[in-house]
Amino acid sequence: MQDGELIFSQGAPPRHLIFILAGEVVVKRHTSSAVSVLVGRTKRITGKTPFSRIRSWNADGRASGNVWLLELDDSQFPAMLTAIPSMTERMVRVLIDRNREYTRAEEQIGKLAALSKLAGNLAHELNNPASAARSAALALGQQSELVRNDARYQLGLAISDKAALDRYLKGLDAIRAKVGSTPHPSNSILAGDLEEALCDWLQNKGFEEAWKLAPILAEAEVSISELQDFTAPVAAELQPIALRDLLATVSQNAAIASIIQASERIFRIVAAVKDYSYMDRQPLQEVDIPAALDNVLMMFQPRLKDVIIKRNVTAELPLFQGYGSELNQAFSALIENGLDAMENRGTLTLSAKLQGETLLVEFEDDGRGIPKEYQDRVFEPFFTTKPLGAGLGLGLDTVQRVIAKHFGTVSFETSTQGTIFHVRLPVNRAEIY
């Protein structure tokens, strides 16, 4: 069969057992929320099997490149099983493997759907109180400004000298700015001594709430001399009012800043969850896959001194509609995985070609291969065979999530002579929304 030729279509009744003698068959399973793409290769079996209760194809199958198939009509099943008794066991294993494969794909789709729903609910539940908190903080800031203006008005009536009033307001703003911008003191002992000295000074001024104001000023490392400059323009009997104005100012500013920071943190958490679950996607870009591979390789130049790079890229590949930075992240993880397997010494082959409606991007290394006991776990998050601290085990998990986000698939073949990762991306992305 020729490249892109339809072998079977979703919804049609199956009539044949299909042996893939050579080539690949790309199987696209359309659902309401996603497209599950599976691939059948040489020596694989697909189609209707003996003992199967399948009533209709649940996916479309097309040739990926030139494909040779052997089709056996279902009317010949009894004769086949009689002539080749071992086929009974073989067909049962095929059914079990197929069921496991489809179950795994459905579970993945279900998990993504559940995560998106959770993210939507979380975004709704957190956005509302966060918005309310931020609005309340802004309103509190406006209200506190009115209160401060009233206190300053009272002081203004008592301070007839305009220059003195200006010095007072300037000193107040300077201390307020210092309280809002100075980090926590590095020396807690010195801060404690300063707090005690400030408290004594404030009490000597007749300020009854010295115990509230002193810790705030000490944390911002406001000195007694700065307080003296602040209160100097004010008559002695009015200094408690001035200090009360200062306490209200710095306390309200601290509370407002705390509310705003907490609200912003909630928004960042919501944004992170949305990003993880693919909500609020950014506009798609036209990605040049060969150029993207070249750009990613540039980032690994220090590790390529003893590596031979082979590029098998078809000329004039169509541009791919996707998220460029995320695809670069996935390609980087696959290249890094290959370099790690080769220990930065060997041959790394990058391929890109068009197969029917699919862009096939391959990353092949000649490293030690993936041990059989790890092959079922390579895409698990936090699974790694690297030494402690050498990796988090998120590289291939990230690859799978990024490619799935583009409605593609990632698979691999491995042996003791190396590993090849196959990334398949649908060209006609708009048709599968």
Q: How far is residue 133's CA from residue 289's CA, in Å, rounded to a whole number?
A: 45
pLDDT score of 433: 36
CA distances to 63, 239, 240, 362 from 206, rounded to whole Å, are 90, 8, 6, 78
Q: How far is residue 37's CA from residue 235's CA, in Å, rounded to a whole number?
A: 81
pLDDT in tens, 329-364: 899 889 998 998 898 889 999 999 988 788 999 999
Amino acid sitting at position 246: L
**Low-confidence winner among 102-106, 321-325, 369-373, 383-387 (lowest mean pLDDT):** 383-387
- pLDDT above 70 coverage of the chain, percent: 72
- Residues 55, 48: contact at Cβ < 8 Å? no
Q: How far is residue 260's CA from residue 15's CA, in Å, rounded to a whole number?
A: 65
- Residues 297, 335: contact at Cβ < 8 Å? yes
Q: Do domains 6-84 and 285-432 have the same CATH topology?
A: no
Tokens found for residue 164 = 């003195």
Homologous superfamily, domain 6-84? Jelly Rolls (2.60.120.10)
Q: How far is residue 20's CA from residue 6's CA, in Å, rounded to a whole number?
A: 14
DSSP SS3 for 71:
strand
pLDDT in tens, 28-81: 766 544 444 555 556 677 778 887 777 788 778 888 778 888 888 888 888 888
Q: Is the model's pLDDT at 429 over the cut of 90? A: no
pLDDT score of 418: 92
pLDDT, greater one: 82 or 109: 82
Residue 368 — pLDDT band, cuts 50, 70, 90? confident
pLDDT score of 388: 45
pLDDT, greater one: 82 or 431: 82
Q: Is the model's pLDDT at 430 over the cut of 50? A: no
Q: Give the residue-averaged pLDDT of 69-94.
A: 85
Q: What angle do CA 326, 328, 329 make, to 5 degrees?
A: 65
What CATH architecture is 285-432?
Answer: 2-Layer Sandwich (3.30)
Closest CA to 58 of 19, 23, 106: 106
pLDDT score of 33: 46
Closest CA to 274 of 121, 102, 133, 109: 121
pLDDT in tens, 2-37: 877 888 888 888 888 888 888 777 777 665 444 445
Q: How far is residue 109's CA from residue 116's CA, in Å, rounded to a whole number?
A: 11
Q: Give the residue-averaged pLDDT of 289-306.
A: 87
pLDDT score of 114: 59
pLDDT in tens, 268-295: 766 656 554 544 455 677 889 998 898 8
Q: Which residues pair with 349 in a beta bridge?
A: 310, 364
Q: How far is residue 424's CA from residue 39's CA, in Å, rounded to a whole number?
A: 10
Domain boundaries, the chain: 6-84, 122-276, 285-432
Tell how strand 16-30 and strand 6-8 pair up: unpaired
Q: Is the model's pLDDT at 239 over the cut of 80? A: yes
Q: What is the mean pLDDT of the chain?
A: 77
pLDDT in tens, 178-231: 876 656 666 677 778 888 999 999 999 888 888 888 888 888 888 899 898 888
Q: Is the model's pLDDT at 413 over the cut of 60? A: yes
